[in-house]
Amino acid sequence: MALISPDEVVPAGELGRVHFIAIGGAGMSGIARIMLRRGIAVSGSDAQDSEMLAQLGDLGAKVFVGHDAAYLGEADTVVVSTAIRDTNPELVAARERGLRVLHRSAALASLMAGREAVAVAGTHGKTTTTSMLTVALQHAGADPSYCIGGRLVTTGLGADEGGGPVFVAEADESDGSFLMYTPRIAVVTNVEADHLDNYGGFEKVKENFARFVDRVEPGGTLVAGADDPVAMELAGRARERGLTVLTYGEAPGADLRVTGFTPRGLGSRFEIEGSGEVVLGVPGRHNALNAAAVVAVGRALGADEAAVRAGLAEFRGAMRRLEPKGEAAGVEVFDSYAHHPTELTADLEATRDYVEQKAAGGAGAGRIVAVFQPHLYSRTRFFAAEFGEALGLADVAVVLDVYGAREDPEPGVTGRLVADRVPAGTVCEYVPDRAEVTAAVTRLAVPGDIVITLGAGDVTRLGPEILARLGGAGP
């Protein structure tokens, strides 16, 4: 659907009764939750029942399983995502009735209106950075409202209404919807080629990030990743606009330069040059960089830096971001949303750090068993070679077939494109039948191994199945 102009954002208090199509999704449910907390009448439908629907029902929403025009009720505004097709009966009826139809991003922009908005964007790291920032600001007493594309491990929530003036939001570039926001502070972690099914080429991706930076309020701040060349180009553009710019990263000259990164079990420590130590409870060099971005935003907001660092030390991750799922028969299982080659590389490198520390501590040299489900036919076609190369960082790779999500199958585009490009030094099996994956993984894994499920599709459900079978409770 076409996005409305950012200048047409409707204040949340003027939306009337709001109906969400596919209310159970991570982003949609979070917006609905905040609206409910603000006293807005909310209804919504979803194709399947879920715990999220039950939670929204407990907060006062009228929720329905399935899609039917009758579910619109007396709605004044209908909220949809890019994934909703024009043939959806509720969307068809809403247009016939002349109701206001908003993209999810426009609904979020309505909630952010009048708040001190912080929008976190980037090809990688935005969910974790937004999550870290939320927890850190909570520890600093800011009590922000927040809307994240994932859920915090500690609370299980991905969005909530806070009592303070700050609103922290993950800004999604996948369909250009981050251009709806007018933040006081914007974060750009990095910019790489992705979502090429929508953009067509990397130049268009970069153009949209430039437009995002141009939407920062006059007198506002850009926090940019100093290790990323495109982010640094955007920093120059922001300075020309008169914005304050704070850069972070390992590159010489970064305003918040990260040094001395040291893995510590499922956490790490590092220094911000000239400022002191930061301790994290989540692994990976990439997370140290995310944390440095959080410190930069805290400075821009005037938050107490010691409290921000304390919040980072207490942060235990976002769900599906190298999330520990359990251990059985001496095998640890983790789950990751990684679905781009750079993300696979970062998570597998962090897992390798963990394995090496365990070995140094006398636990033995376990292997990494990566279970990867490619997400989208277009992304698989664009990045098959890069996915294969990234999986070479594992000792064993199990590649599933493509999770198509919103896309129809493409002839010749399967998980085998990835499996065939895994380097010879890594044991690789292509298992196109999802029903056979759990058996394959438990056959390959031995005590001391780390299994990590990777992908944005239903691969996330495999972790509990693998643990059950390893423990003798599964089929």
Question: Among 429, 430, 431, 443, which residue's Cα sits nearest to residue 474?
Answer: 443
Phi, psi dihedral angles at 246 (to 5 degrees): -120, 125
Cβ(149)–Cβ(26) below 8 Å: yes
Do 91 and 80 meet the contact criterion of CB atoms below 8 Å apart?
Answer: yes
Residue 206 falls in the annotated catalytic set: no
Q: How many CB atoms lie within 10 A of CB 222?
A: 26
- Whether 192 is a known active-site residue: answer no
Residue tagged active-site, from 90, 116, 170, 343: 170
Q: Which of 126, 247, 325, 342 is catalytic?
A: 126
Residue 125 assigned ligand-binding role: yes
| 463 annotated to bind ligand | no
Pinpoint the alpha helices (H) of 361-435. 377-391, 416-419
Say if residue 76 is exposed, middle or buried (CB neighbours under 10 Å; 0-12, 13-18, 19+). Answer: middle
Pairing mode of beta strands 331-336, 323-328: antiparallel
As a whole number of angstroms, the distance between CA 283 and CA 412 comes to 37
SS3 for 18-30 is EEEECCCCHHHHH
DSSP state for residue 142 in the 8-state scheme: -
Q: Is 126 a catalytic residue?
A: yes
126 is in an annotated binding site: yes
State yes or no: 339 annotated in a binding site.
no
Annotated binding residue 286: no
128 known member of a binding site:
yes
- Whether residue 203 contacts residue 217, with contact meaning beta carbons closer than 8 Å, is answered with no
User: Which listed residue (77, 90, 116, 127) is catalytic?
Assistant: 127
60 is in an annotated binding site: no
Residues noted as catalytic: 126-127, 170
Residue ranges for the binding site? Answer: 122-128
Residue ranges for the binding site for ATP? Answer: 122-128
